[in-house]
Structure 1
Amino acid sequence: MAEQTLANHSDRLNAINIYPVADADTGTNLYLTIRAAAQAVAESEPADVGATMALAGRAAMEQARGNSGTLMAVALAAMAEPLHEATRLNGPLLVAALHRAQLRAWSALSDPLPGTILSVLEAAARGAASSESHLHNDESNQALADTINGAVNAAREAVVLTESQLQVLSEARVVDSGAVGFLLILDCLRSVILGDPLQEDLLDGLSGYNVQDPNIALTMPAQDGVEIMCTILLTPLAAAGLRRELDELGDSVIMSAVSEEADEMGAYPWRVHVHVPSAAVALAAIQAVGDPSNVSISALTANAIEDAHDFL
């Protein structure tokens, strides 16, 4: 359901994608990331809720696209941890899963800011916890319904606030694209849990989200540079060192372990995302500490296409 919903909304999400760069691809990136998760689950028969979420999270991490897709993948993978061996979802487990997701997502990004998908994740976790706290660890279906409704309602309020939390959004008079994408995914979860249709009025009144609204991303100034994504096997110490170096070379650095399973040398697979002026310099830093796989290099603007292609 989330895959189809994001496909239906990808054009509008792309049109208001102006932070951290106006590359008009948040809707596409979220769709492709969630599609990878959905396909992995469809091709397997996970034993329980936790195994299903873990499979989805790992597939999403390995195929994550862009800032928003990477953070969403981190959240999915994190949600699986409290659900380990759970045969059914309940209110307390949902609270724990959303809490873990927002912690992991905030820690994965080197320079986290409010007014983004991170704010909405945090609000959803808080809203779920607030609703569940009145139910005294009730594991009934009604308690689960109250919990997911609390999460969605809080997330919706947080999406509205994003417009006032980042100057670039305030000036353009739009809400954050990734934040809206996460809200849509959360409402898909609500729909599945309750057996209800998606809320048709969920996005009503969100700045920049009327069908007739202009494509804001196309009006923003161009930004040079490239987005690099890859998977690499590193020890936690080596990963910390790479994060520090990438922070110096660029911005929008996201690093998170794909799984909690280390090899015999204590190394974990990490998903890496960064925006940098030069693909060559950043990839040299990455290759200096390991052998990256699933490497993706995308231009943030047309000016960076030649740089990326020349290096590859």
Structure 2
Amino acid sequence: MKRWLGKTEVVLGNHSDRLNAINIFPVADGDTGTNLYLTARAAVSALAGTSPDATETGNDVGALLSRAGQAAMEQARGNSGTLFAVFLCAAAEPLAGKSRLSAPLLATALNRAQIRAWSALSDPVSGTMLSVLEAAARAAQAVDSAQGGDDSNHSLGLALDAVVEAALQAVIRTENELAPLHEAHVVDAGGVGMLLVLDCLRSAVLGEELQDELLEGLHGYRLQDPHIHEHMPADDGVEVMCTINLSPLAAATLRQRLDEMGDSVIMSQVGSTASLDDDESEGETSYRWRVHVHVPDPEPAVALIRSLGDPTDIAVSQLALPREAGGETADHEDSGTTAGQPRHEL
């Protein structure tokens, strides 16, 4: 798991510029690669300096992945980063208490992850990283079924091969599933990011090289291709993100109100532990949530969030700003900004 996440951080960093270059959905803001990279970096940083003998996760694959996923969720950036964090947290659940990955566990983990990712969005859309993750999960389930639940390394290898191939085909299909992608003649940036993540998993588990040939022929992905969003109309509005403890009822209320205010609403639980909030009468069970929304004006959204609880790490980012020719990469990230997008902590 540590090898996979470390490889993922490096690969997403190396590919951040190309992912940014084709990022036009849901907003043509050219930051999908940067957001995925920074979120993966948060996951890896949570495991820095640990070893099976030196961390409370012991030899527990699920515990280690859960630790990384929760760190990623707390520091998730953008739509893509938030969904990647959801993917990690959900995949960790069936792996709890397990000391190794197997084909049956992979199938269960990917299925849990794709269900959680689809449900995190108020308005999920096909032709995105959601579709890629769903295709990967179905491929893993098909192999597991064909192998009769065999938990050998051989079956795991077959499953990982099938997962990456299914993800690739799903990425290719995205171009014709979404009108903006079809018009621009590119595949979905988040989908390519998920393909890279899954190929990193295959590489780490099987001890094989990454399959760079997967990216050959993906429309818009050649180094010489321009950043296609640079000449598109700027998107108005801002992205608001935060973490907050809410009861299930309050969380449902927040989601409904945010849906009315804006779009790209993502709400996902951070961890699975409930807490008891004290009030004047009696305690109420609450959970920790990561919240993401695009709105025209941040103030009403921030006011709404604060009316329901005590949020932390509220960050407001412009959805579109002038960019340098060629775009920026994650290498230019500093402590307060996502490349190309100033973030304002409130």
- Regarding TM over 0.5, the answer is yes
Looking at structure 2, the residues matched to 302 and 87 of structure 1 have their Cα atoms a distance apart, in angstroms, of: 46
Measured in 1, the distance between the counterparts of 2:144 and 2:228 equals 39
Are positions 1:132 and 2:138 aligned together?
no
Q: 2:37: which partner in 1?
A: 31
Do the aligned partners of 2:315 and 2:344 also contact (CA within 8 Å) in 1? no
In 1, distance between residues paired with 2:289 and 2:35?
19
Is 2:215–2:221's contact at 8 Å kept on the other side of the alignment?
yes
Of residues 261, 269, 288 in structure 2, which corresponds to 1:269? 288
Q: Distance in 2 between matches of 1:183 and 1:275?
A: 25
Match of 2:255 in 1: 243
Q: How far apart are the structure 2 equivalents of 1:51 and 1:202?
A: 31
Change over 3 Å in CA distance of 1:153–1:40 after alignment to 2:
same
1:14 to 12, 20, 32: 20
| Displacement after TM superposition at 1:187 (Å) | 0.3
Determine which of 3, 27, 30 is the counterpart of 2:9: 3
Distance 1:309 1:3 in 2: 22
Q: Secondary structure at the residue paired with 1:227? A: strand
Q: Is residue 2:153 matched to residue 1:141? A: yes
After TM superposition, the structure 1 = structure 2 runs for residues 93-108 of structure 1, keeping only pairs within 5 Å, are 93-108=105-120
Equivalent residue letter for 2:288: P
Q: Is the 8 A contact 1:91 1:144 kept in 2?
A: yes
Runs of 4+ in structure 1 off by over 4 angstroms are: 308-312
- Kept after mapping to 2: 8 A contact 1:17/1:176: yes
The equivalent of 2:99 in structure 1 is 87
Aligned counterparts of 1:227 and 1:271: Cα–Cα separation in 2 = 13
The within-5 A match list for 1:25-174 is 25-44=31-50, 45=55, 46-47=57-58, 48-174=60-186
**Post-superposition offset of 1:301:** 2.0
**What is the alpha-carbon root mean square deviation over aligned residues?**
1.4
TM-score, with structure 2 as normaliser: 0.87
Which residue type is aligned with residue 25 of structure 1?
D
Q: Which deviations, in whole Å up to 9, do the C-alpha atoms of 1:201-252 show, x marking residues without a partner?
A: 0111111001111111212211110001100000111100000000000000
Q: Structure 1 length normalisation: TM-score?
A: 0.96
Give how far 1:155 is off: 0.5
Indicate how the Cα distance of structure 1 residues 96 and 309 shifts in structure 2: closer, same or farther if over 3 A, else same.
closer
**1:102 is paired with a residue of what secondary structure?**
helix
Q: Distance in 2 between matches of 1:224 and 1:144?
A: 46
Give CA-to-partner distance per residue, 1:6-63, whole Å, 9 cap, x none: 0100001001110000111000000000010011122443221011110111011001
Q: How does 1:175-186 map to 2 (within 5 A)?
A: 175-186=187-198
Q: Secondary structure at the match of 1:254?
A: strand
Pick the aligned partner of 1:293 from 303, 312, 326. Answer: 312
Write the deviation string for residues 109-134 of structure 1: whole angstroms up to 9, x where unpaired: 00001000000000000111111211
Assess if the C-alpha contact under 8 Å between 1:62 and 1:231 holds in 2.
Answer: yes
- Which residue of structure 2 aligns with residue 188 of structure 1? 200
Letter in 2 for 1:101: A
- Amino acid in structure 2 at the alignment position of 1:257: Q
Following superposition, the deviation at residue 311 of structure 1 comes to 9.7
Question: Partner of 1:238: helix, strand, or coil?
Answer: helix
| % identity of equivalent residues | 59
- 1:279 and 1:311 in contact (8 A); partners too: no
For 2:100 and 2:271, the matched residues in 1 are separated by 22
State the alpha-carbon separation in 2 of the partners of residues 78 and 311 from structure 1.
Answer: 28
Matches within 5 A, 1:205-244: 205-244=217-256
What is residue 327 of structure 2 aligned with on the other side?
none
**Matched letter for residue 251 of structure 1:** D
Partner Cα distance (1:142, 1:235) in 2: 44
Deviates more, 1:112-121 or 1:257-266: 257-266
Q: Which runs of 5+ in 1 are unaligned?
A: none
